[in-house]
Amino acid sequence: MIRIGKLTDYGILILTHMAQDGERLFTAHEVSHAVGVPLPTTTKLLKTLVKGQLLESHRGTKGGYLLARNPEMISMVDVVTALEGPVGLTDCGTSQQPGECRRSVSCAIKTNWQRINQAVHDALAQVTLAEMRLPAVHPVHLPAPRAASLRV
């Protein structure tokens, strides 16, 4: 199964909470309590999201964190990239360095993996933080997983 990491999941929860009132400063303690993520983890994620330019940090007694852009301008690909690095299911789809993989010259499936990686990237780019804070208008029905077949 392919999954985003737990910290990315928490980061999305934090940003979604903050997007409810996108122009307000939030303290780390307040965010931690609201989303149910321990304070040390929340603090770590807030700092990572500042570094990823999704949040701004304001110091001082009236300081806190706020969204760096409107929720409509922050896509899920922005969030995943800030928290996990470039989006891709395989290294060949995210590598910027030619020859990074020893098999890249003779790889028969590289182009198809790149297509799949691009499709995942594009799907994440189409969903904004503003949309994440709202219930889905049209529920998504996923097909039931197929039973693994064994070949002998």
What are the residue boundaries of the structural domains of the chain, listed by start? Answer: 6-131
**CATH fold of 6-131:** Arc Repressor Mutant, subunit A (1.10.10)
Averaged over 69-91, what is the pLDDT? 91
Pairwise CA distance, residues 11 & 68, whole Å: 15
**Per-residue pLDDT tens for 1-12?**
678 899 999 999
**Least-confidence region, from 18-22, 29-33, 105-109:** 105-109
| pLDDT score recorded for residue 114 | 84
Environment class of residue 5 by beta-carbon count within 10 Å: exposed (0-12), middle (13-18) or buried (19+)?
Answer: exposed
| pLDDT score recorded for residue 107 | 79
**The token pair that represents 24 in the structure block:** 């307000």
What residue ranges in 24-147 does DSSP mark as E strands? Answer: 55-58, 64-67
With a cut of 90, say whether residue 18 has pLDDT above it: yes
With a cut of 80, say whether residue 129 has pLDDT above it: yes
Pairwise CA distance, residues 93 & 139, whole Å: 29
**Per-residue pLDDT tens for 89-127?**
777 655 555 556 666 667 778 788 888 888 999 999 999
